[in-house]
C-alpha cells in the first residue's frame, strides 16, 4: 500500500512539469501562422482587448479555430506562453 501511495504522489508531483509549455515552439507556430494575418502591433497596442492569461489563451484558441489549424492543446499553450512571455507579461 505504501508503494502505491508513494507512486501516486510521485506522479502527482511530476504531472505539472510533464505538460509545461514550450514558448520557443509557440514562437515558431506564431511566426508560421499568426503573422500572416497580423503583426506584432496587435500585442503591443495600448488599447489591446486581452487583459489576462485566460483571455489570451481563449484568443489564441479562437484564431486557431478560425484558421482551421487543428493544433493540439499543447500547441495552443505553447503559443499562449510565447505571447505572454514576450509581449503580455501576465502573472
Evaluate whether 84 touches 26 at the Cβ level (below 8 Å).
Answer: no
Examine residue 41 and state whether it is found in any structural domain, yes or no: yes
Query: How many domains, in total, are found in the chain?
Result: 1
> Is 52 a member of any domain?
yes
The alpha helices in 1-91, defined as continuous H runs, are 2-18, 23-33, 41-44, 53-66, 73-83
Instruction: Say if 34 falls within a structural domain.
Output: yes
Angle at Cα 74 formed by Cα 9 and Cα 69, nearest 5°? 160
Q: Name the least confident of 23-27, 42-46, 47-51, 52-56.
A: 42-46
Q: Which residues contact 71 (CB under 8 A, 6 or more apart)?
A: 29, 64, 79
Q: Which of 40-49, 58-67, 81-90 has the lowest mean pLDDT?
A: 40-49
Q: Which domain holds residue 62?
A: 22-88
Domain membership of residue 80 (yes or no) is yes
Average of per-residue pLDDT across 2-22: 55
pLDDT the model gives residue 49: 87
Amino acid at each position: 500500500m505504501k508503494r502505491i501511495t508513494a507512486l501516486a504522489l510521485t506522479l502527482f508531483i511530476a504531472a505539472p512539469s510533464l505538460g509545461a509549455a514550450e514558448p520557443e515552439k509557440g514562437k515558431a507556430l506564431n511566426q508560421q501562422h499568426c503573422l500572416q494575418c497580423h503583426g506584432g502591433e496587435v500585442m503591443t497596442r495600448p488599447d489591446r482587448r486581452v487583459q489576462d492569461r485566460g483571455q489570451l489563451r481563449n484568443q489564441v484558441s479562437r484564431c486557431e479555430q478560425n484558421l482551421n489549424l487543428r493544433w493540439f492543446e499543447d500547441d495552443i499553450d505553447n503559443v499562449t506562453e510565447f505571447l505572454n512571455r514576450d509581449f503580455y507579461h501576465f502573472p
